[in-house]
Structure 1
Amino acid sequence: METRNHHDTQVLIVGAGPVGLTLATDLAQRGIRVLIAETRHRGEPPNVKCNHVAARTMEILRRLGVAKTVRNAGLPADYPNDVAYRTSFTGEELSRIEIPARQDRVTDRQQPDTGAPDTWWPTPEPPHRINQIYLEPLLFAHAGQTPGVTILNRTRIDRFEQDGDGVTAYGENIDTGESLIVRADYLIGCDGGRSAVRKQIGAKLSGTDVVGRVQSTYFRAPSLIKLQKHERAWATFSLNPRRSGNVYAIDGKETWLVHNYLRADEEDFEAVDRDWALRQILGVGPDFEYEILSKEDWVGRRLVADKFRDRRVFICGDASHLWIPMAGYGMNAGIADAMNLSWQLAARIHGWGGEHVLDGYETERMPITGQVSHFAMNHAIALQKEREGVPAGIEEPGEAGERARAAAGKALYDLNVRQYCCAGLNFGYYYDASPLIAYDGEKQPAYGMDTFTPSTVPGCRTPHLWLDDGRSLYDAMGPEFTLLRLDTSVDVTPIVDAARRRGLPLVVLDVKSAGAAGLYKEALVLSRPDQHVAWRGNAAPRDALALVDRVRGALPMAAPEAGMPSRLPAEASVA
Structure 2
Amino acid sequence: MKDFDTDVLVVGAGPVGLTLAMDLASRGVRVTIVETRRYAEPPNVKCNHVAARSMETFRRLGVAQALRNAGLPADHPNDVVFRTSVCGTELTRIPIPCRRDRYSATGGPDTWWPTPEPPHRINQIFLEPLLLQHAASLAQVTLLNRTQCMSFEQGDGFVTATLRSLDTDAEQHITAGFLVGCDGGSSGVRKLMGAKLEGTAVIQRVQSTYIRAPQLKAMIPQPLAWSYYSVNPRRCGTMFAIDGHDTWLVHNHLNPNEPEFDSVDRDWSIKQILGVPQDFEYEVISKEDWVGRRLVADKFRDRNVFIAGDAAHLWVPYAGYGMNAGIADATNLAWVLAARVQGWGGEVILDAYEAERMPITMQVSNFAMEHAAKMIKARSAVPANIEAADTQGQQAREAIGREAYELNVQQFCCAGLNFGYFYTHSPILAADDEPAPAYSMGGFTESTVPGCRAPHFWLADGRSLYDAFGPGYTLLRFDAKADIASCATAAREQKVPLEVIDVQGSPSIPAAYRHRLVLCRTDQHVAWRGDALPNDALALLKLLTGRH
TM-score (norm 2): 0.98
Residue-by-residue CA offset, 1:477-501 (whole Å, 9 max, x unaligned): 2222100111111110011111111
Map residues 71-82 of structure 1 onto 2, 5 A cutoff: 71-82=68-79
Task: Select which of 161, 166, 170 maps to 1:174.
Answer: 166
Structure 1 counterpart of 2:142, which letter? T
1: distance between equivalents of 2:278 and 2:323?
A: 37
2: distance between equivalents of 1:517 and 1:104?
A: 25
Residue-by-residue CA offset, 1:239-277 (whole Å, 9 max, x unaligned): 000000001101000000110000112122221111100
Task: Select which of 212, 222, 236 maps to 1:220.
Answer: 212
SS in 1 for 2:348: coil
Q: Which residue of 2 aligns with 1:571?
A: none
Is it true that 1:234 corresponds to 2:251 in the alignment?
A: no
Q: Which residue of 2 aligns with 1:414?
A: 406
Map residues 394-433 of structure 1 onto 2, 5 A cutoff: 394-433=386-425
Any conservation in 1 of the 2:81–2:92 contact (CA below 8 Å)? yes
Task: Select which of 463, 486, 495 maps to 1:494.
Answer: 486
Q: Structure 1 residues 7 and 539, CA, compared in 2 at 3 Å: closer, same or farther?
A: closer
SS in 2 for 1:356: helix
Q: Which residue of 1 aligns with 2:449?
A: 457
Q: Which residue of 2 aligns with 1:96?
A: 93
1: distance between equivalents of 2:148 and 2:453?
A: 37
2: distance between equivalents of 1:165 and 1:449?
A: 39
Residue-by-residue CA offset, 1:516-569 (whole Å, 9 max, x unaligned): 1513110100000111000001111111011100110112xxxxxxxxxxxxxx
Is it true that 1:541 corresponds to 2:534 in the alignment?
A: yes
1: distance between equivalents of 2:157 and 2:298?
A: 25
Q: Which residue of 2 aligns with 1:272?
A: 264
Structure 2 counterpart of 1:14, which letter? V
Structure 2 counterpart of 1:258, which letter? V
Map residues 245-324 of structure 1 onto 2, 5 A cutoff: 245-324=237-316
Any conservation in 2 of the 1:87–1:240 contact (CA below 8 Å)? yes
Q: Which residue of 2 aligns with 1:435?
A: 427
2: distance between equivalents of 1:270 and 1:130?
A: 30
Is it true that 1:516 corresponds to 2:509 in the alignment?
A: yes
Aligned pairs, how many?
545
Residue-by-residue CA offset, 1:83-125 (whole Å, 9 max, x unaligned): 000000000000000000000012xxxx5532x1011100000
SS in 2 for 1:296: strand
Q: Which residue of 2 aligns with 1:67?
A: 64
Task: Select which of 437, 462, 477 maps to 1:470.
Answer: 462
2: distance between equivalents of 1:256 and 1:112?
A: 26
Structure 2 counterpart of 1:345, which letter? L
Any conservation in 1 of the 2:470–2:498 contact (CA below 8 Å)? yes
Any conservation in 2 of the 1:47–1:296 contact (CA below 8 Å)? no
TM-score (norm 1): 0.94
Is it true that 1:354 corresponds to 2:346 in the alignment?
A: yes
Residue-by-residue CA offset, 1:265-311 (whole Å, 9 max, x unaligned): 21222211111000100011122110001112211000000000000
SS in 2 for 1:357: helix
Any conservation in 2 of the 1:7–1:181 contact (CA below 8 Å)? no
Task: Select which of 353, 358, 367 maps to 2:359.
Answer: 367
Bigger mean CA offset, 473-482 vs 180-189: 473-482
2: distance between equivalents of 1:355 and 1:417?
A: 42
Q: Which residue of 1 aligns with 2:334?
A: 342
In angstroms, what is the RMSD of aligned CA positions? 1.1
SS in 2 for 1:530: coil
Structure 1 counterpart of 2:530, which letter? G
Bigger mean CA offset, 143-152 vs 263-272: 263-272
Structure 1 counterpart of 2:445, which letter? T
1: distance between equivalents of 2:78 and 2:236?
A: 21
Task: Select which of 454, 472, 478 maps to 1:480.
Answer: 472
SS in 2 for 1:193: coil
SS in 1 for 2:17: helix
Residue-by-residue CA offset, 1:39-64 (whole Å, 9 max, x unaligned): 00111111110000000000000000
Q: Which residue of 1 aligns with 2:157?
A: 165
Residue-by-residue CA offset, 1:204-242 (whole Å, 9 max, x unaligned): 100000000001110000000110123100000000000
Task: Select which of 10, 20, 29 maps to 2:17.
Answer: 20
Q: Structure 1 residues 495 and 112, CA, compared in 2 at 3 Å: closer, same or farther?
A: farther
SS in 1 for 2:199: strand
User: Aligned-pair distance for 1:508?
Assistant: 0.4
Q: Which residue of 2 aligns with 1:570?
A: none
Structure 2 counterpart of 1:529, which letter? T
SS in 1 for 2:547: coil
Structure 2 counterpart of 1:405, which letter? R
- Percent sequence identity is 62
Any conservation in 2 of the 1:93–1:230 contact (CA below 8 Å)? no
Is it true that 1:32 corresponds to 2:23 in the alignment?
A: no
SS in 1 for 2:347: coil
Structure 2 counterpart of 1:138, which letter? L
Structure 1 counterpart of 2:377, which letter? K
2: distance between equivalents of 1:433 and 1:496?
A: 26
Task: Select which of 46, 49, 58 maps to 1:49.
Answer: 46
User: Aligned-pair distance for 1:7?
Assistant: 8.3
Structure 2 counterpart of 1:165, which letter? G
Structure 2 counterpart of 1:33, which letter? R
Structure 1 counterpart of 2:431, which letter? Y
2: distance between equivalents of 1:380 and 1:355?
A: 39
User: Aligned-pair distance for 1:467?
Assistant: 1.5
2: distance between equivalents of 1:273 and 1:32?
A: 51
Bigger mean CA offset, 57-66 vs 43-52: 43-52
Any conservation in 2 of the 1:94–1:408 contact (CA below 8 Å)? yes
Residue-by-residue CA offset, 1:324-381 (whole Å, 9 max, x unaligned): 0011111100010111111000001111001201000000000000000000000000
Structure 1 counterpart of 2:527, which letter? A
1: distance between equivalents of 2:279 and 2:264?
A: 20
Structure 2 counterpart of 1:475, which letter? D
Any conservation in 2 of the 1:48–1:296 contact (CA below 8 Å)? no
4+ residue runs over 4 A deviation: none
SS in 2 for 1:270: helix
1: distance between equivalents of 2:430 and 2:7?
A: 29
Q: Which residue of 2 aligns with 1:572?
A: none
Task: Select which of 173, 179, 182 maps to 1:187.
Answer: 179
Structure 2 counterpart of 1:528, which letter? R
Bigger mean CA offset, 469-478 vs 361-370: 469-478
Q: Which residue of 2 aligns with 1:386?
A: 378
Q: Which runs of 5+ in 2 are unaligned?
A: none
